[in-house]
Chain A
Amino acid sequence: MQFNSNDSGSNLQSEINITPLVDVVLVLLIIFMVVVPFLMEGYDVDIPRASADTSAQVAESQLILSIGSAACPILTPPAGEGIPKDCQVTLADQKIPVAELPARVASILGGRPAEQRALFLAVDDRLNYEGVLRIIDLAKSGVEDLKIEFVATN
Chain B
Amino acid sequence: MQAAINITPLADVVLVLLIIFMVMAPQMRKGPDVNVPNTSKPNAQGDERGRILVSIDESGGLWINDQPVAAEHFGETLRTAVGAEPNPKIVIRGDAKLNFREVREVMIAIEQEGFRGVGLIAKRAGAEGK
A: residues with CB less than 8 A from B are: 2-3, 18-19, 21-22, 25-26, 28-29, 32-33, 35-50, 76-77, 81-82, 123-130, 132-134, 136-137, 140-141, 150, 153
A126 CA / B37 CA spacing, docked (Å): 16
A130 CA / B96 CA spacing, docked (Å): 5
A125 CA / B43 CA spacing, docked (Å): 24
Closest-CB distance, A20 to chain B (whole angstroms): 11
- By beta carbon, the residue of chain B nearest A21 is B11
Closest-CB distance, A89 to chain B (whole angstroms): 14
Contact between A128 and B99, CB atoms less than 8 A apart = yes
On chain B, the residues within 8 Å of A19 by CB distance are 7
Closest-CB distance, B24 to chain A (whole angstroms): 9
A136 CA / B41 CA spacing, docked (Å): 10
Taking each of A35, A40, A48, A126, which has the highest tally of chain B beta carbons within 10 Å of its own beta carbon? Answer: A40
On chain B, the residues within 8 Å of A47 by CB distance are 107-108, 110-111, 115-118
Given known contacts A128-B98, A129-B95, is B48 in contact with A140 (CB within 8 Å)? no
Contact between A81 and B125, CB atoms less than 8 A apart = yes
- By beta carbon, the residue of chain A nearest B117 is A46
Contact between A43 and B107, CB atoms less than 8 A apart = no
Q: Counting CB contacts under 8 A, is B1 at the interface?
A: yes
Contact between A40 and B91, CB atoms less than 8 A apart = yes
- By beta carbon, the residue of chain B nearest A35 is B47
Can you sample 17 A-B contacts with CB below 8 Å?
A39-B44, A40-B44, A40-B119, A41-B121, A42-B42, A42-B45, A42-B122, A44-B120, A45-B107, A45-B117, A47-B118, A123-B100, A127-B100, A128-B99, A129-B98, A129-B99, A141-B40
Contact between B37 and A41, CB atoms less than 8 A apart = no
On chain A, the residues within 8 Å of B119 by CB distance are 40, 42-45
Contact between A40 and B117, CB atoms less than 8 A apart = no
Q: Counting CB contacts under 8 A, is B86 at the interface?
A: no
